[in-house]
């Protein structure tokens, strides 16, 4: 293909091309900077001191003084003691032992560091740049400090890299401090982790290579005697607890409680973020989320990933989904407050019931896994639209007033007898099912969709390829206005003349499209009985419907695949419960409901032609016998 400017513009929008070019340039410049960064190799003595101006390091080239943006320290297997104060380095690596004088620190630039040696006492690491420290060695310190200022990752790549019983302190001053757990779970007993008082500080935990668990003992996170003092600085949305990142391969499980600590002033928002990386789920909180504050804080779900709440949570300030997916895997997963859907999706992976009222602030999605059921007993309000996804079943038990519409993309939406979609039209897509036992404002059955149940509708349209049925077992559904398209399937179960499906239409029965709608009868439970009349459409409006048997009619396909046009008063055959073929007549001008209108549509079981002939012969023989008997008496 000949390439030119127009071709490129057609393949990629100009903004994408520019962004891609700029991204590539930035990456190239960063790579060049790393290549030209001066490497300093430890030249001794072993156990010597490392400070900002010493001569224990031999540069590969260039200047002989440290520069945090360009110099990389290569310690090798030697040992060094960081001198009292700070040393600046772009990155460092090695497998020896690092120790420190009191208040000594290593300040990391933008280069990634990898250390497999041993960390001794009183050493402080400060991330001045957004870099990664991959620590796969041993931590012998009981009072480390890890301070993040401009982004960065502490990757724990050995079981001994984090001192479980240490008094280590982690501070996130202006951005999120990320722990990547690459080798073991993380357990913190008496450690102190602080989110300092800047607006975006937070902690992030990501699982690599296997599911990882973070456990805090002694108190719930956020309480007065706890490890993370969430909210002590009066920030609203600034302090974030986050799970997963771009490097995550597995789920991070937070096994301890969280106290949102709402305080007593203005309502606070506690942000919990999730990013999946290559994992299916970014994080799960299995501990109890509570709130000891007088003013109850709101939990805000952010990030593109999936967060599971599986604890019996007691917080009452409400939950907001801003993006990504929030999986509620416990009846009390969302506490007792309002759920606001401002984006993203709500889901579950177990069978459970949520009683929270849902504020559908914008269009949202509810997903239910195959074989699972999610029941919503609280009302859904506001103006957004909902889409149901997943092969499982979503039950609605409340009177829902949201007005944006409801699309069933997969699985089943079940509206209970006490439930309603009072202000929304439901669209049933291919492969999806609506089971309505309550009340629905509007219905559209798209090709391949199925709508069933003995509920009521304001308006309903069964499009070509869609299937509409009251149900199985003698159900009756109700319509104000019902429109049947050519090619639609309209199914009725018949058990007997007294027990059968029926549709009641109170305003109009109309037609749309081309061709004729299909009538399908489920007669597997029916034993044929001559004279049985079954009303299929009880039309309780004046005048004829669009289907009068002359201008428009139903079509019927028998057991042998033959298609019959069911004109008014037409005979047709169908297979009944005894696997025998029996004869029926359809009429479009029946008076069935006592409303004085001869516009109901019904079928009647009638004898087969052979049976009719036999009855005629018997009747004729009886008539002839009576005539002969009378003649003898007259002659006598």
DSSP string, 403-438: -S-EEE-SSEEEE-TT-EEEEEEEEE-TT-EEEESS
pLDDT at 611 over 80: no
- Give the residue, 513 or 577, on which the prediction is more confident: 513
Least confident stretch, 39-53, 220-234, 378-392, 490-504: 220-234
Question: Exposed, middle or buried: residue 323 (CB in 10 Å: 0-12, 13-18, 19+)?
Answer: middle
What is the dihedral angle through the alpha carbons of 84, 89, 91, 94, rounded to the nearest 10 degrees? -40
pLDDT at 119: 87
Find all residues with CB under 8 Å of 24, minimum gap 6, and list them.
Answer: none
CA–CA distance, 577 with 495 (Å, rounded to integer):
9
pLDDT at 20: 41
Q: What is the pLDDT of residues 198-236, one digit of tens each?
A: 455 678 899 999 999 988 765 444 443 343 445 544 333
Query: What is the model's pTM?
Result: 0.85
- Mean pLDDT of all residues in 275-297: 93
Question: Which phi and psi (to 5°) does residue 396 adopt?
Answer: -115, 120
Kind plus residue range of the DSSP H or E element containing 616 = helix 609-635
Cα distances (Å, whole numbers) of residue 446 to 450, 452, 466, 498? 8, 13, 5, 32
Cα dihedral sign, 14-17-19-25 = negative
Spell out a b/e string for 419-431, using b for 16 or more CB atoms within 10 Å of the CB, else e.
bbbbbbbbbbbee
- Mean pLDDT of all residues in 351-372: 97
The SS3 call for residue 14 is helix
Instruction: Label residue 423 left, alpha or beta by phi (over 0 means left) and psi (-120 to 50 means alpha).
Output: alpha
Q: Which two tokens stand for residue 458?
A: 């304001």
CA–CA distance, 179 with 307 (Å, rounded to integer):
17
Find all residues with CB under 8 Å of 224, minimum gap 6, and list them.
Answer: 292
- Give the residue, 558 or 190, on which the prediction is more confident: 558
pLDDT at 572: 96
CA count, 13 A, side-chain hemisphere, 614: 5
Measure the CA angle with vertex 330, ends 328 and 332; round to 5°: 95
pLDDT at 487 over 70: yes
Find all residues with CB under 8 Å of 385, minimum gap 6, and list them.
Answer: 360, 363, 364, 402, 404, 405, 406, 407, 424
- Mean pLDDT of all residues in 69-74: 77
pLDDT at 22: 41
CA–CA distance, 443 with 400 (Å, rounded to integer):
15
Question: Exposed, middle or buried: residue 485 (CB in 10 Å: 0-12, 13-18, 19+)?
Answer: buried
pLDDT at 229: 46
- Give the residue, 82 or 13, on which the prediction is more confident: 82
What is the dihedral angle through the alpha carbons of 190, 192, 193, 195, rounded to the nearest 10 degrees? 140
Closest of 261, 255, 260, 148 to residue 207, by C-alpha: 255
pLDDT at 576: 92
* DSSP collapsed to 3 states, 194-229: EECCCCCCEEEEEECCCCEEEEECCCCECCCCCCEC
Closest of 224, 200, 364, 218 to residue 292, by C-alpha: 224
pLDDT at 164: 58
Where in the chain are the domains?
A: 1-36, 466-472+483-636
pLDDT at 78: 85
pLDDT at 121: 76
Least confident stretch, 165-169, 217-221, 308-312, 415-419: 217-221
pLDDT at 615 over 80: no
- Mean pLDDT of all residues in 491-505: 97
- Mean pLDDT of all residues in 17-29: 39
pLDDT at 546: 97
pLDDT at 617: 47
Q: Which two tokens stand for residue 45?
A: 């003595």
- Mean pLDDT of all residues in 275-296: 93
Residue 488 pLDDT level (bands cut at 50, 70, 90): very high
Specify the length of the chain in residues. 636
* DSSP collapsed to 3 states, 535-574: EEEEECCCCCCCCCCCCCCEEEECCCCCEEEECCCEEEEE
CA–CA distance, 319 with 297 (Å, rounded to integer):
9
Closest of 34, 160, 166 to residue 90, by C-alpha: 34
Q: What percent of the chain has pLDDT over 70?
A: 79
pLDDT at 321 over 80: yes
pLDDT at 314 over 70: yes
Tokens 């799970």 map to which residue?
243
Residue 438 pLDDT level (bands cut at 50, 70, 90): very high
pLDDT at 558 over 70: yes
Give the β-pairing of 600-606 and 581-590: antiparallel
Residue 189 pLDDT level (bands cut at 50, 70, 90): low
pLDDT at 123: 81
- Mean pLDDT of all residues in 147-159: 84
CA count, 13 A, side-chain hemisphere, 620: 6
Residue 632 pLDDT level (bands cut at 50, 70, 90): very low
pLDDT at 409: 98
CA–CA distance, 439 with 617 (Å, rounded to integer):
54
Residue 65 pLDDT level (bands cut at 50, 70, 90): low
pLDDT at 28: 41
Tell me how far apart the terminal alpha carbons of the chain are, to the nearest angstrom: 113
């Amino acid at each position: 293909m000949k390439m030119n400017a127009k071709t490129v513009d057609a393949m990629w929008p100009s903004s994408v091309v520019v962004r891609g070019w700029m991204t590539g340039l930035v990456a190239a410049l960063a790579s060049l900077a790393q290549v030209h960064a001066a490497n300093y190799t430890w030249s001794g003595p072993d156990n010597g001191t490392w400070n900002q101006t010493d001569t224990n390091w031999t540069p590969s080239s260039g200047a002989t003084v440290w520069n945090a943006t360009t110099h990389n320290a290569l310690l090798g297997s030697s040992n060094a003691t960081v001198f009292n104060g700070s040393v600046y380095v772009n990155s460092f690596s090695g497998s020896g032992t690092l120790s420190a004088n009191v208040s000594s620190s290593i300040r990391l630039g933008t280069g990634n560091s990898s250390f497999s040696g041993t960390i001794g006492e009183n050493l402080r690491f400060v991330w001045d740049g957004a870099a990664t420290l991959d620590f796969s060695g041993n931590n012998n310190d009981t009072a480390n400090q890890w301070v993040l200022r401009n982004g960065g990752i502490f990757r724990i790549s050995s079981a001994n890299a984090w001192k479980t019983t240490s008094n280590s302190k982690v501070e996130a001053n202006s951005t999120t401090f990320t722990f990547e757990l690459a080798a073991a779970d993380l357990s913190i007993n008496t450690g102190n982790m602080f989110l300092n008082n800047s607006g975006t500080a937070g902690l992030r935990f990501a699982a690599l290579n296997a599911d990882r668990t973070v456990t805090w003992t002694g108190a719930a996170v956020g309480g007065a005697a706890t490890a993370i003092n969430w909210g002590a600085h009066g920030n609203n949305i600034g302090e974030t607890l986050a799970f997963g990142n771009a490097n995550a391969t597995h789920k991070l499980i937070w096994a301890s409680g969280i106290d949102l600590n709402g305080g007593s002033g203005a309502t606070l928002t506690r942000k919990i973020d999730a990013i999946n990386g290559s994992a299916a789920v970014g994080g799960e909180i299995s501990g109890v989320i509570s709130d000891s504050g007088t003013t109850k804080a709101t939990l805000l779900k952010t990030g593109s990933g999936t967060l599971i709440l599986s604890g019996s949570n007691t917080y009452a300030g409400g939950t907001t989904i801003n993006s990504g997916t929030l999986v509620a895997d416990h009846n009390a997963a969302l506490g007792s407050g309002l759920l606001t859907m401002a984006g993203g999706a709500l889901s579950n992976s177990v069978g459970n019931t949520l009683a929270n009222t849902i504020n559908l602030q914008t269009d949202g999605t509810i997903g239910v896994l195959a074989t699972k059921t999610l029941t919503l007993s609280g009302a859904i309000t506001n103006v957004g639209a909902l889409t149901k996804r997943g092969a499982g079943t979503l039950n609605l038990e409340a009177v829902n007033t949201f007005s944006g519409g409801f699309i069933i993309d997969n699985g089943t939406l079940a509206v209970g007898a006490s439930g309603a979609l009072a202000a929304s039209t439901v669209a049933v897509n291919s492969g999806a099912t609506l089971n309505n036992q309550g009340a629905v404002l509007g219905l559209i059955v798209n090709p391949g969709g199925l709508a069933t149940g003995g509920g009521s509708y304001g308006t309903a349209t069964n499009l070509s390829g869609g299937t509409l049925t009251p149900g199985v077992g003698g159900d009756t559904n109700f319509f104000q206005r019902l429109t049947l398209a050519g090619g639609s399937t309209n199914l009725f179960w018949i058990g007997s003349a007294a027990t059968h499906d029926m549709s009641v239409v109170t305003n109009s029965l109309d037609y749309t499209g081309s061709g004729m709608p299909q009538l399908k009868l489920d007669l597997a439970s029916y034993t044929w009985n001559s004279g049985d009349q079954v009303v299929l459409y009880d039309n309780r409006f004046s005048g004829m419907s669009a289907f009068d048997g002359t201008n428009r009619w139903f079509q019927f396909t028998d057991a042998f695949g033959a298609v019959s046009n069911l004109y008014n008063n037409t005979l047709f055959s169908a297979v009944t419960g005894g696997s025998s073929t029996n004869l029926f007549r359809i009429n479009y001008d029946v008076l069935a409901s006592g409303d004085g209108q001869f516009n109901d549509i019904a079928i009647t079981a009638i004898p087969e032609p052979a049976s009719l002939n036999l009855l005629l012969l018997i009747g004729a023989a009886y008539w002839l016998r009576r005539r002969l008997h009378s003649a003898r008496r007259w002659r006598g």
